[in-house]
């Protein structure tokens, strides 16, 4: 009887879902490197293109025990594909635990600018909370909140010295204990992982080109990302998330920071060079000057320039709401 026929009787098995390649992407986002901007874009893109955006509520646990690594890898690997998983977490080696190694993407920025952005953001927040930004880190003692950045650096406070300053490299080196020790071993392992496991590591200072390349490499995730990013409604939000009360340390303090972060800079310049090679390969022009022996430090203030949105540890619903009006 026709009334009792099933879909299978009439049509055969349902069509198999053809997955784009790659269909497993991990964005293990580095703190204070514009990742909240990218996550906001991903929320819009996941609805537009129908991929599975998997985010994490854990923002302050980047180093995991072996069991925690196994558990997280298992959870990620069983997500519906195509997925893009994002979390502040140091590089995870899926193949070590018998999983399929996903494609990784990430963005980094000038190490001193990243450090300063984090230093002042922890204390004073950003322009969105202009009325209440003083409670950004409620547990912070007043003398710590108002600790002069130069004093912190010159008098070698823990926050302004190693190993706290060794921050970017472990995101690429991985979960091995030696990845947390400033030195050649962690640096070389991070470079190796960039070459072998990361589809793209971009530079925040050239964010529009990063988005262009992501659209080129991963169209099923990032198609139209640049037009969304350039949307005036989106751009004006950027001014609200610039860290407030940011001041520039003295030249002497900056020189000390540079010495303490020499491995971070070696990695940053390596990634930047690789990124520029990719840009040239795909016809994007870079304004490349010969590298100086010391980095050029320019810390823009909110009044001088529009920065990409600083990332923040919590995902804020109000940012998404503007797209649902």
Active site residues: 88
Alpha-carbon distances, residue 251 vs 161, 295, 297, 302 (angstroms): 17, 12, 10, 21
CB 150 within 8 A of CB 249: yes
Single out the residue of 87, 95, 100, 96 nearest to residue 22, CA to CA: 100
Per DSSP, the three-state class of 300 is coil
Alpha-carbon distances, residue 109 vs 8, 113, 196 (angstroms): 54, 7, 21
Residue 42 tokens read as 């991903």
Residue 225 tokens read as 């990302």
24-27 vs 83-86, strand pairing mode: parallel
CB 215 within 8 A of CB 225: yes
Q: What is the rounded CA–CA span in Å between residue 105 and residue 107?
A: 7
Q: Hunting for tokens 């540079």 — which residue is that?
A: 258
- DSSP β-bridge partners for residue 26: 85, 104
Residue 279 tokens read as 């840009």
Contacts of 214 by beta carbon, 8 Å cutoff, 6+ apart: 105, 200, 202, 221, 222, 225
- DSSP β-bridge partners for residue 104: 26, 198
Residue 72 tokens read as 């997280």
């Amino acid at each position: 009887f026709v009334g009792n026929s099933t879909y299978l009787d009439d049509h055969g098995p349902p069509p198999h879902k053809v997955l784009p390649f790659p269909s497993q992407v991990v964005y293990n986002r580095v703190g204070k490197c514009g990742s909240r901007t990218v996550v906001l874009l991903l929320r819009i893109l996941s609805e537009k293109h129908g991929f599975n955006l998997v985010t994490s509520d854990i923002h302050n646990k980047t180093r995991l025990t072996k069991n925690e690594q196994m558990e997280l890898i298992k959870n990620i690997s069983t997500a519906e594909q195509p997925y893009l998983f994002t979390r502040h977490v140091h590089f995870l080696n899926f193949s070590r635990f018998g999983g399929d190694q996903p494609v990784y993407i990430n963005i980094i920025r000038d190490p001193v600018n990243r450090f300063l952005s984090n230093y002042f953001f922890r204390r004073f927040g950003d322009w969105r909370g202009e009325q209440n930004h003083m409670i950004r880190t409620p547990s912070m003692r007043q003398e710590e909140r108002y600790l002069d950045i130069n004093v912190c650096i010159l008098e070698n406070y823990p926050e302004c010295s190693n190993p706290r300053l060794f921050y970017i490299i472990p995101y690429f080196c991985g979960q091995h204990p030696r990845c947390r020790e400033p030195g050649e071993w962690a640096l070389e392992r991070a470079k190796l992982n960039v070459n072998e496991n990361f589809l793209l590591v971009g530079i925040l200072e050239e964010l529009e080109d990063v988005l262009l390349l992501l659209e080129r490499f991963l169209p099923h995730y990032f198609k139209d990302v640049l037009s969304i990013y350039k949307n005036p409604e989106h751009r004006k939000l950027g001014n609200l998330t610039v860290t407030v009360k940011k001041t520039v340390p003295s030249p002497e303090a900056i020189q000390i920071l540079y010495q303490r972060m020499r491995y971070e800079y070696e990695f940053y310049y390596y990634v930047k060079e690789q990124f520029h090679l990719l840009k040239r390969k795909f016809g994007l022009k870079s304004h490349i000057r010969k590298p100086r022996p010391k980095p050029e430090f320019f810390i823009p203030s909110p009044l001088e320039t529009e920065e990409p949105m600083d990332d923040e540890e919590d995902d804020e619903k109000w940012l998404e709401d503007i797209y649902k009006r």
